[in-house]
C-alpha cells in the first residue's frame, strides 16, 4: 500500500499547531527588538559602504557593533568578518579575559570539540601553555546545573571566568534556556563579584525572547553564519558584553594600542545588517522545520532531543539512531535535498579539530552555514544526527517528505 505522504504531513503539522504558535510569538517579539535597534541607532544606507586599509572611522562597522549590543542586551560589541568562525570568536574572548594563574571554570562540562586545543596542550599556544588552569563541572540529569558543586567551587577558587555552552555540541543533553541561567548567574556574582560569566551562545540566538546577557552574563559570543546572520551574512562572528569585558577582549582582537579603532572590510556591510534584520524570522523557520522533522522521527519510534513537547532552546534537533548506517543515511538525505551540491554524497572523514570521523551535509549558499538546512555528526555511539537550520520551512518540509518514505 502506497504511503500518503501529504496526509501524514498534514496530520503532523496539526500536532504542532501550538508549538508553531509559540515560535511565531517569540519571533514577533524579537523582530520588534531588532527593528527598534535599527531605528534608534539611525541605520542608513551609508552604513552599508565598505572601507579599506586601516578602516578608521568605519561607520558601517561601528554602527553594526552598536546595533548588536542593543539587540543582545550588552553595553558594547565586536562584530566583524575578521572573526573567522564561532571557535575563533570564543577563543578571542578566552585569550582576552584570562591570564597566567587564572582559573576558567566550565559549568556545562567539556566545551565543543574545536575548542580543546585552545584549552589544552603544551607548546601549542593553548591557554594551558600560558598558565591558565581549566576546571569543569558536568551537568546532571538532562542538562541541569549542579548548583552545589558550582557554588562550592566558585567560593573556593574564585575563578576569573565561569563558562557556559548554551547548545549541546556533540552530546545528548538539552540546550539551556537563558531563563534557567538567571539564578546561577546571580548567585555566582554574589559569591565572586569579579568573576566574568561567558556564554557560548551559538545556535541559541532569537530562539527565546531574551538572551543570556539579559540575565547577567558578562559576555555572549557566537557565529554570524549561524542564527544572527539570517542566512545572509557571508562570514564573521560577534562578541557582545559589558564595556569592561569588551575593552579587554578588543586588546586581544587587535592589540592593546589599537583595539576597535581599526578593521576594514571592502565588500561592505549590507548583508550583515540585512541578515540580522531577517534573523528572527529565519530562526523561526528553522525551529518549525526541526519540530516537523522531530515529530516525524518521534512518530516512527526514534528518540529525539529535545522531544517535541519541550520548548527548544537552540535550532538543533538531535535524532538518535541504532546504527551508524541509519545515521549516515539520514545525513546523506539532507544533502540530497540541498540546493547547492545536492548531487554530492557525503561520507565520514577525518575533519580537522575532531577526534572521530565526522559526516556533514551542508549544501548551503554560505559555506558551512548551519542556519541553512544542514546536519552533521561524529561517527561514534550513541549514533546521534545533529540536524539544524532551514532558511524556509517549505525547504525543510521537502526533507520531511523524504523521511516519511525512507524510514
Find all residues with CB under 8 Å of 18, minimum gap 6, and list them.
Answer: none
pLDDT value of position 260 = 96
Residue 1 has pLDDT above 60, yes or no: no
The three grid cell numbers given for residue 327, joined into one nine-digit string: 545515521
- Asked if 151 contacts 187 with a C-beta cutoff of 8 angstroms, the reply is yes
At residue 192 the predicted structure's pLDDT band, cuts being 50, 70 and 90, is very high
Per-residue pLDDT tens digits for 243-269: 999 999 999 999 999 999 999 999 999
**What is the Cα–Cα distance from 68 to 78, expressed in whole angstroms?**
8
Site of grid cell 531574551: 210
Per-residue pLDDT tens digits for 42-93: 999 999 999 999 999 999 999 999 999 999 999 999 999 999 999 999 999 9
**Where are the alpha helices (H) located in 41-115, listed in sequence order?**
59-71, 86-97
**What is the Cα–Cα distance from 83 to 226, expressed in whole angstroms?**
13
At residue 22 the predicted structure's pLDDT band, cuts being 50, 70 and 90, is very high
In this prediction the pTM is: 0.96
Between residues 289 and 113, the one the model is more confident about = 289
Pairing of strands 316-321, 161-165: unpaired
Half-sphere exposure of 166 (CA within 13 A, CB side): 31
295 three-state secondary structure:
helix
β-strand partners of 80: 237
pLDDT value of position 113 = 85
pLDDT, mean over the chain = 96
pLDDT value of position 204 = 97
Query: How confident is the model over 375-397, as a mean pLDDT?
Result: 95
Residue 23 has pLDDT above 70, yes or no: yes
pLDDT value of position 143 = 86
Site of grid cell 554530492: 344
Percentage with pLDDT > 70 across the chain: 100
pLDDT value of position 272 = 98
Structural domains of the chain, ranges and CATH numbers in brackets: 5-29+276-406 (3.90.1150.60), 47-267 (3.40.640.10)
- Angle 118-121-127 from CA coordinates, rounded to 5°: 45
**What is the Cα–Cα distance from 178 to 199, expressed in whole angstroms?**
10
Helices (H), strands (E): how many in the chain?
11, 12
- Angle 145-387-234 from CA coordinates, rounded to 5°: 100
Query: How confident is the model over 214-233, as a mean pLDDT?
Result: 98
Per-residue pLDDT tens digits for 172-186: 888 999 999 999 999
Percentage with pLDDT > 90 across the chain: 92
Which stretch of 156-170, 227-241, 346-360 has the lowest confidence by average pLDDT? 346-360
Find all residues with CB under 8 Å of 203, minimum gap 6, and list them.
Answer: 166, 167, 175, 226, 227, 314, 315, 316, 370, 388
Amino acid at each position: 500500500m502506497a504511503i500518503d505522504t501529504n496526509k501524514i504531513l498534514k496530520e503532523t503539522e496539526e500536532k504542532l499547531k501550538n508549538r508553531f504558535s509559540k515560535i511565531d510569538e517569540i519571533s514577533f517579539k524579537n523582530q520588534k527588538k531588532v527593528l527598534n535597534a535599527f531605528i534608534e541607532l539611525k541605520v542608513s544606507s551609508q552604513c552599508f559602504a565598505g572601507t579599506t586599509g586601516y578602516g578608521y572611522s568605519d561607520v558601517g562597522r561601528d554602527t553594526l557593533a552598536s546595533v548588536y549590543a542593543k539587540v543582545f542586551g550588552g553595553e558594547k560589541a565586536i562584530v566583524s568578518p575578521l572573526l573567522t568562525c564561532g571557535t575563533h570568536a570564543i577563543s578571542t574572548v578566552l585569550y582576552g579575559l584570562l591570564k597566567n594563574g587564572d582559573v576558567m571554570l566550565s559549568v556545562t562540562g567539556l566545551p565543543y570539540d574545536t575548542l580543546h586545543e585552545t584549552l589544552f596542550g603544551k607548546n601549542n599556544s593553548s591557554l594551558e601553555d600560558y598558565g591558565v588552569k581549566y576546571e569543569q563541572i558536568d551537568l546532571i540529569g538532562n542538562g541541569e546545573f549542579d548548583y552545589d558543586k558550582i557554588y562550592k567551587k566558585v567560593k573556593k577558587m574564585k575563578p576569573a571566568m565561569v563558562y557556559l555552552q548554551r547548545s549541546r555540541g556533540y552530546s545528548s543533553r538539552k540546550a539551556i534556556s537563558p531563563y534557567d541561567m538567571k539564578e546561577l548567574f546571580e548567585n555566582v556574582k554574589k559569591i565572586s563579584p569579579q568573576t566574568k560569566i561567558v556564554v557560548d551562545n551559538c545556535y541559541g540566538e532569537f530562539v527565546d525572547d531574551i538572551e543570556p546577557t539579559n540575565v547577567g552574563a558578562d559576555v555572549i559570543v557566537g557565529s554570524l553564519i549561524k542564527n544572527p546572520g539570517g542566512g545572509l551574512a557571508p562570514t564573521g562572528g560577534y562578541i557582545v558584553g559589558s564595556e569592561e569585558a569588551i575593552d579587554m577582549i578588543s586588546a586581544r582582537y587587535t592589540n592593546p594600542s589599537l583595539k576597535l579603532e581599526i578593521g576594514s572590510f571592502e565588500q561592505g556591510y549590507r548583508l550583515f545588517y540585512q541578515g540580522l534584520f531577517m534573523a528572527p524570522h529565519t530562526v523561526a523557520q528553522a525551529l518549525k522545520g526541526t519540530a516537523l522533522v522531530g515529530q516525524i522521527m518521534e512518530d516512527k519510534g526514534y528518540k529525539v532531543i529535545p522531544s517535541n513537547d519541550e520548548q527548544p532552546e537552540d535550532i538543533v534537533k538531535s535524532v538518535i539512531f541504532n546504527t551508524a548506517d541509519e545515521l549516515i543515511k539520514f545525513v546523506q538525505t539532507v544533502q540530497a535535498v540541498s540546493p547547492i551540491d545536492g548531487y554530492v554524497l557525503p561520507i565520514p572523514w577525518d575533519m580537522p579539530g575532531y577526534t572521530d570521523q565526522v559526516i556533514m551535509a551542508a549544501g548551503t549558499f554560505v559555506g558551512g552555514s548551519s542556519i541553512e538546512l544542514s546536519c552533521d555528526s561524529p561517527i561514534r555511539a550513541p549514533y546521534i544526527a545533529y540536524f539544524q537550520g532551514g532558511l524556509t520551512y517549505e525547504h525543510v518540509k521537502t526533507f520531511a517528505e523524504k523521511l516519511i518514505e525512507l524510514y
